[in-house]
Chain A
Amino acid sequence: MLRGTLTGLLVSCTPSNTSETLVLTGSSTVAPLVSEIGQRYESQQSDIQVDVQTGGSSRGIADARSGVADIGMASRDLTADEQDLTAHIIARDGITVILHDANPITSLTDAEIMDIYTGEIDNWQEVGGEDTSIVVVNKADGRATLDVFLNYFDLDSGEIDADIVIGDNTQGLKTVAGNPQAIGYISIGTAQAGVEQGEPIRLLPIQGVAASAENVANGTFPLARSLSLITSDNPSDAAQAFIDFAQSDAVHDLIEAQNFVPVNQRSRD
């Protein structure tokens, strides 16, 4: 997969007729958000053009280091040998495990969730629920939410024994809302919006931490990751200005529209 994303090159171009172009490359999870932010930035700063290309977090980090891109985009934390770079977190992406409201279970351990998703446990009775089979709802391969889930539980997509595979978060929400035996995982933004609209679902805590946007933003919710802009330790003025804009209140609506959680955090080494 890494090889695929490294070599992958999907270019989203805008016509070049302005003086300065900021090139951003990297994670396909962050790219749609940064494209939106870039469009708003362009409309406010007519002399800057933002060019967003995807190709995976590793490519974004490599490009930021080599200078091929002004800014890299990453949906994972920097590793030990990438500490020469700086990650500027613009948003966090948290996902939560959801059940139907009629299911009496209010919490599951990580091991139980893992066993349910690998098919070791296939009846709710085994984790203290009713004597009914478990309907495992999983995401289709390639979805960012699946990546976060697999990474956190250290699973391979081939190990998951799913009953239903879904595409987007809303479909996951509707599937679990219509099935008292189902277990699924979706982005916290979508899940909370669903609960507010009266959908019969319950958000489970992970490791005892409640699934809420606040806990995702402050970093205590474990099933989450940071979406960052990556630069060398001394970014250019234009790059720094864009990062400041991406971390400002002015883009919160764009972040929330993509089901991510704004953080408003200063740069982190």
Chain B
Amino acid sequence: MFRLIKGHGTDPFSWNIDTLIGATVQTLAIISGLVLLGMILFLIQESLPLLNQISLWQFLSHSRWQPLDGEYGVLALLIGSLLVTLISVLVSVPLGIASALFCHDYAPSWLANLHRRILQLLAGIPSVVFGFWGLVTLVPLINQWQPPGASLLAGSLILALMILPTIALVADSAVGQVPLSYRHTAASLGLGRWATLRGAVLPSAKSGILMGIVLGAGRAMGETMAVLMVSGNVVQIPQSVFDSMRTLTANIALEMAYATHTHRGALFVTGLLLTLMIAGFMIILAIARHREVLRHGR
């Protein structure tokens, strides 16, 4: 197995080092793959007691979640997770792309660097800090406008703020990787700055930007603490952005410590569902990138 990786050098010493490093790296990569596989198997094993009692379809299609009465329907939670992810992405994508273009084409370099530093700082703030800020500042503000304040809107805005740095920084590097010749060609055609960006730079950076969006969406979907603190956590399908709602992740965090037996199993099924959804995001990303490579050959 380790013979797969072989050094290019002819000198036997460097071959040995490469074999050793190759073997180590390969082993570590296999371990991390096995850990993921083990986690998924564990989730499936813990989910089985519940799935033997109620069908997966019943689990997914009912919106009543009353663990004390033995009712487990995750539809409202699923819709909550998807909505909060969708709205946060819709809010942060225009901001993220605008920020990338600002850094490259509109800002003087000192300002662009300052802006990037600020985004990196934003990316490093722990989610519980965002949640706490949302709970003591954003939720009371929304409450003055439309009670109860803790709502889909609050959750989406906090998440948008959290995923903005990911989307902006990845878009920034994607825009930075657009070959200079594209800009030169566009300039020689007499195109203005915006026309160049729209016609040449953005289409070329599309797959990179998309990657940032999927990474951001994955983070939004998996985020727990911040959402739990600001979105109200009532199990219901929100009728407006001002309604309280609960996500799949918040549901696990709220009930895990106290859940036993089928209730615990139901939470594990929720975890499995989340894992599969994130995996779905990654597959979409892989397909999109594959198409891009086919088209542009890079």
The chain A residues found within 8 Å of chain B, CB to CB, are 1, 4-5, 7-8, 10, 28, 132-133, 135, 140-144, 156-158, 162-167, 171, 174-175, 177-179, 181-182
Docked complex: B247-286 residues within 8 A CB-CB of A: 253-255, 257-263
Q: Range of interface residues on chain B?
A: 20 to 34
**When the two chains form the complex, which single residue of B66, B143, B254, B257 contacts A157, counting CB atoms closer than 8 Å?**
B66
The closest CB in chain A to the CB of B235 belongs to: A165
How long is the Cα–Cα vector from A213 to B225 in the complex, in angstroms?
Answer: 31
B150 x A164 contact (CB < 8 A) = yes
- Provide the main secondary structure of the chain B interface: helix
**When the two chains form the complex, which single residue of B229, B232, B262 contacts A4, counting CB atoms closer than 8 Å?**
B262
| Interface flag for B39 (CB, 8 Å) | no
CB-CB < 8 A to B258: which residues of A? 28, 141-144
Q: Which one of B109-117, B133-141, B167-175, B178-186 is at the interface?
A: B133-141
14 A-B pairs besides A165-B235, A181-B148 with CB distance below 8 A are A7-B260, A28-B258, A141-B67, A142-B68, A142-B255, A142-B259, A164-B234, A171-B229, A174-B135, A175-B135, A175-B139, A179-B139, A179-B143, A181-B143
CB-CB < 8 A to B147: which residues of A? 132-133, 135, 163, 179, 181
B69 x A164 contact (CB < 8 A) = no
| Interface flag for B244 (CB, 8 Å) | yes
Q: How far is the CB of A68 from chain B (nearest CB, A)?
A: 18
Docked complex: B120-153 residues within 8 A CB-CB of A: 132, 135-136, 139-140, 143, 147-150
B139 x A167 contact (CB < 8 A) = no
How long is the Cα–Cα vector from A178 to B136 in the complex, in angstroms?
Answer: 6
Contacts A135-B143, A140-B255, A179-B139 known; A10 to B67 CB distance under 8 Å?
A: no
**When the two chains form the complex, which single residue of A144, A156, A167, A175 contacts B150, counting CB atoms closer than 8 Å?**
A175
CB-CB < 8 A to A163: which residues of B? 147-148, 150, 232, 234, 244
CB-CB < 8 A to A181: which residues of B? 143, 147-148
24 pairs, CB–CB < 8 Å, chain A vs chain B:
A1-B68, A7-B260, A7-B261, A8-B261, A140-B233, A140-B255, A141-B67, A142-B67, A142-B257, A157-B66, A157-B68, A158-B66, A158-B68, A163-B147, A163-B150, A164-B234, A165-B232, A165-B246, A165-B254, A167-B228, A174-B132, A179-B143, A181-B148, A182-B148
A/B pair count, beta carbons within 8 Å:
94
B135 x A179 contact (CB < 8 A) = no
A178 x B234 contact (CB < 8 A) = no
B234 x A135 contact (CB < 8 A) = no
How long is the Cα–Cα vector from A140 to B258 in the complex, in angstroms?
Answer: 10
Q: How far is the CB of A63 from chain B (nearest CB, A)?
A: 16
How long is the Cα–Cα vector from A166 to B31 in the complex, in angstroms?
Answer: 38
CB-CB < 8 A to A135: which residues of B? 143, 147-149
Q: How far is the CB of A134 from chain B (nearest CB, A)?
A: 9
How long is the Cα–Cα vector from A174 to B259 in the complex, in angstroms?
Answer: 25
Contacts A157-B68, A167-B253, A171-B229 known; A4 to B260 CB distance under 8 Å?
A: yes
CB-CB < 8 A to A156: which residues of B? 68-69
How long is the Cα–Cα vector from A133 to B145 in the complex, in angstroms?
Answer: 12
A165 x B233 contact (CB < 8 A) = yes
How long is the Cα–Cα vector from A93 to B246 in the complex, in angstroms?
Answer: 28
Q: How far is the CB of A141 from chain B (nearest CB, A)?
A: 5
Docked complex: B200-234 residues within 8 A CB-CB of A: 228-229, 232-234
Q: How far is the CB of B62 from chain A (nearest CB, A)?
A: 14
CB-CB < 8 A to A167: which residues of B? 228, 233, 253-254
A4 x B261 contact (CB < 8 A) = yes
Q: How far is the CB of A111 from chain B (nearest CB, A)?
A: 23
CB-CB < 8 A to A142: which residues of B? 67-68, 255, 257-259, 263
B140 x A178 contact (CB < 8 A) = yes
Q: How far is the CB of A200 from chain B (nearest CB, A)?
A: 11
B234 x A179 contact (CB < 8 A) = no
A141 x B255 contact (CB < 8 A) = yes
CB-CB < 8 A to B229: which residues of A? 171
CB-CB < 8 A to B255: which residues of A? 140-142
B260 x A10 contact (CB < 8 A) = yes
The closest CB in chain B to the CB of A9 belongs to: B260
CB-CB < 8 A to B67: which residues of A? 141-142
A178 x B135 contact (CB < 8 A) = yes
